[in-house]
Structures are given as C-alpha cells and as structure tokens.
Amino acid sequence: MAPDDGTARRADSSPASEFDIPGDAAGIEGLAAAGLAPGRASAAARRASPASSPPLGTGRVETVPVGTLTLESGASLPVTVAYRHDGPGPDAPQALVVHALTGSADAAGDWWEPVIGPGRALDTDRVGVLCANLLGGRYGTTGPTSPHPGTGSPYGSAFPQPTVRDEAAVLWALADRLGIERFALVAGGSLGGMVAQEVALARPGAAGHVAVLGAPAATGAMALGWNHIQLGLIDALGERGLELARQLAMTTYRSEADFDGRFGRSVEDDGRFTVSSYLDYQGHKILGRFDPDTYRVLVRVMDNHDVGRGRGGTLEAFRALAASGTGLTGIGIEGDILFGPDQVRRLVDEAVGAGVDASYREIRSAKGHDAFLIEWEQLTAFLSDALADALGRATREVTATA
C-alpha cells in the first residue's frame, strides 16, 4: 500500500491523522521574575514598544522568549515559544487555536489550513489568528530537546513536567508579549481542547467563546489506560517503545468503520495484513519527527487534565465562565473512541448547569477522533458559528460599557 503521509495532504484533502502534523533560545527574565503572574501587569506594560514587538501577521512561524515562568510543580523554567500569527494585530479581535498532541504552531499553513485564512471560517481579513507550539513540544517551543541553560545539553528526561494549566499560562504569557489582551475565540481539538478550556478559565473575562472539539472536561479512565500502556512501552523500550506507542495510539484516532473500509483483511505482497503495514509505517515515521521524552511529557499533560481539580469540581469551575459571560460550544465526534460524544455532552451539560451559555454540536463522520482534522465543511460551519457568537459578545460588551 502507498504510505499514508500526514505531512502532505492527499487528493481528498484529508490528513492521515490528528497527530501526523509536522534549538530553542533560553528565555529571558519576565513577569515571573518581577513577582507578577502573567496578566497582572498593566495593559501598557504588557504592550512592547514598536521597535521590540515580536512580528504579527507574518504567515510563518516565529520564536520569542516569554520569560522565566514558575510551573505548578514549583520548577522555574525559561521559556521560548514558537508561534504563528495571521491577520490583523492586537487592535482587531483575536482567535487562539491550540494544537493536539504532536502538532505544531503552523495551524494556518498545515493542519487547519482549510479553516484559517481570508474568507474562511476563521477569517483573517476580520480577526487575527494565533497558534503556538505547546510547552514541552517538539517544534520550537522550549521542551525536552531544548538546551538546558545551565549545561547546554538537552533537558531530556529531566525536563520539568508541565500541567494543562501551565500550558495555558504559557499561552497567556505569549499573548502578553504580543500585546494581545483578549481572545474573542479560543478553539482546540483533543489535547488542544483541554488546553483551550484552561486558557479561558485562567482569565475568564478575557475569552469570549470557547470551542472544544473532541475533548472532555477531565481525561477519562479509558484514555488514561491507553496512555499508561503507551508510556510503559516508551519507558521500557525507548525509541522502539515510541514506535509501538504510536501504533497503539493510531488505533484510537480512527473508527472501526474507517479501518474496515480502508484496510479490511487485505494483505500486502510480503504477506502482512495491510493494516499491520500501515501501523508499522506510522510507528517508523514518528521517529523522524518526535522523540520519547517529548511524547512522554505531552501525554502526561493530557493525563493531568481536569478542570475541576482544586476548584470544587467541574460545575464550580465553569461558574467562572458563566460569571464572565463566556460562551462555549462542545463539539463531539461520531464514532470517537478516544473522547466520545457522551464525554463532550457531559462537559456541555455541566457548563449549562453552571450557568454558561453553552451548546452541543456533533461532527458526523466515519473517521472517528481524527474527524476534527478532516471534515472541513462541518468544521467550517461550527467554527464560523462560534466566531460569530464570539464577535457578537464582544460587540455587546463594548455597547454595555459605552
């Protein structure tokens, strides 16, 4: 069979998988060093002077130091973030897009390209669109492959473990560095949907609408179990374990119907089942663009996800969004076995119970979890609606304060 290469789009414009998407400078002393939490500085202080402002609207990936940040674990970490920003700058409404497990900052040029750009769902003629590689990632943001400032060697397994809330704090630190005070819309799928919730909860008044695709309010037991097996393989077998972990993960990103339709019981010339050949290829390919330590860090971020942790439960956590007037759309995916529709419905139900203006939508597809990177027509409709709601809320807020 032809290799299923997710780094280039096939003729039907669908990527192979959510996770098939393609050195850091030491960070500078920033808000944390000054004793200020991200977002506590004045608006004037957060805006850099024109001469020192990082570039916006470049349509390509840039890197910028955002400061030495203190993680929930207590570890202090100088952080540089790789990001891409398309469209108008901070004076216009802004949207934040958050990638999934092994994604990059290049949403507009790669994995969500069909929904970002002029005239598209996230219309860069009207709004700025920001995407950043997550902390601990592999594509430009500080992570296990970055040089430790004290030794010059990669952090490797010594990289301090971040949480989902640390990921949100880094994204807000980047926003502060770029002069972005508010996001009209925060959207993400899978791990990105988890981080999107925490971005909104970190500063509820600074997020107009949250679109959560294929992600729950807390990572469930089945996903924790799959992640446990993947991490066990990596811990025991290193790079070979990463190959096998990837193969296991691939079986959770698609549906039974998709695998049956694509592979069935067909056999390759070498006698292997076609599905086995496909999984072997995907396992081998991950070694060319990822590493065991980075994979381990980001899987543990996913395991940590629970918006109710330390907040009195999910319902109490979402009350902060209700109080700030933040809207929420939970988008489930038909046939998703990783984070199924019932988990997303439960998130929406708890948000509604907390008083949030929230609604549930569902992607109809045979593709399973990966449908949020495949079903472009449905995604366009859902994201267009979410952005319209976000912009409407912003307009109403301006009118109410005028």
Residue 368 located in a structural domain: yes
Query: What is the bridge-based pairing of β-strands 183-189 and 76-86?
Result: unpaired
Q: Is the pLDDT of residue 53 over 80?
A: no
Same domain, 270 and 287: yes
Looking at residue 45, its pLDDT comes to: 35
Q: Is the pLDDT of residue 331 over 50?
A: yes
Nearest to 167 by CA among 87, 72, 48, 74: 72
Same domain, 73 and 208: yes
Q: Which residues pair with 63 in a beta bridge?
A: 82
| Exposure of 305 in the CB half-sphere (CA atoms within 13 A) | 29
Distance CA 221, CA 235 (A): 21
Same domain, 54 and 203: yes
Q: Which two tokens stand for residue 191?
A: 């791990």
Q: Is the pLDDT of residue 41 over 80?
A: no
Residue 27 located in a structural domain: no
Q: Out of 17, 104, 190, 365, which one is annotated catalytic?
A: 190
Range of the domain at 295: 222-301
Number of compact structural domains in the chain: 2
- CATH number of the domain to which 229 belongs: 1.10.1740.110
Q: Is the pTM of this model over 0.95?
A: no
Are 131 and 106 in contact by the 8 Å Cβ rule? The answer is: yes
Q: Which of 269, 301, 333 is the last residue of a domain?
A: 301
Residue 7 located in a structural domain: no
Same domain, 137 and 157: yes
Looking at residue 399, its pLDDT comes to: 53
Same domain, 276 and 385: no
Looking at residue 398, its pLDDT comes to: 55
Looking at residue 167, its pLDDT comes to: 98
Residue 20 located in a structural domain: no
| Percent of the chain's residues with pLDDT above 90 | 83
Are 350 and 88 in contact by the 8 Å Cβ rule? The answer is: no
Looking at residue 40, its pLDDT comes to: 34
Same domain, 194 and 90: yes
What are 150-206's pLDDT values in tens digits? 999 999 999 999 999 999 999 999 999 999 999 999 999 999 999 999 999 999 999
Q: Is the pLDDT of residue 348 over 80?
A: yes
What average pLDDT score do residues 231-253 get?
Answer: 97
Looking at residue 2, its pLDDT comes to: 32
Specify the amino acid at residue 270: D
Q: How confident is the model at residue 119 (pLDDT cuts 50, 70, 90)?
A: very high
Q: Which of 284, 301, 318 is the last residue of a domain?
A: 301
Torsion region of 91: left, alpha or beta (phi above 0 gives left; psi -120 to 50 gives alpha):
alpha
Same domain, 135 and 209: yes
Same domain, 196 and 210: yes
Residue 93 located in a structural domain: yes
Looking at residue 400, its pLDDT comes to: 57
Active-site residue, 370 included: no
Looking at residue 393, its pLDDT comes to: 82
Active-site residue, 336 included: yes
Same domain, 64 and 201: yes
| Percent of the chain's residues with pLDDT above 70 | 85
Q: Which of 301, 331, 363 is the last residue of a domain?
A: 301
Distance CA 47, CA 272 (A): 58
Q: Which two tokens stand for residue 391?
A: 């912009």
Distance CA 373, CA 76 (A): 35
Q: Out of 110, 166, 306, 336, which one is annotated catalytic?
A: 336
Residue 17 contacts by C-beta under 8 Å, 6 or more apart in sequence? 4, 6, 250, 253, 254, 282, 370, 373
Neighbours of 123 (CB within 10 A): 17
Q: How confident is the model at residue 397 (pLDDT cuts 50, 70, 90)?
A: low
Residue 37 located in a structural domain: no
- The CA–CA distances, whole Å, from 18 to 21, 101, 340 equal 7, 8, 15
Q: Which two tokens stand for residue 31?
A: 């808000």
Same domain, 315 and 173: yes
Q: Which residues pair with 207 in a beta bridge?
A: 183
Same domain, 283 and 164: no
Q: Out of 166, 258, 369, 389, which one is annotated catalytic?
A: 369
Query: What is the bridge-based pairing of β-strands 61-70 and 76-86?
Result: antiparallel
Same domain, 175 and 107: yes
Residue 120 located in a structural domain: yes
Q: Is the pLDDT of residue 44 over 90?
A: no
Looking at residue 395, its pLDDT comes to: 66
Distance CA 287, CA 294 (A): 12
Distance CA 40, CA 46 (A): 9
Residue 1 located in a structural domain: no
Mean pLDDT of all residues belonging to the chain: 88
Q: Which two tokens stand for residue 81?
A: 């973030």
- CATH number of the domain to which 94 belongs: 3.40.50.1820
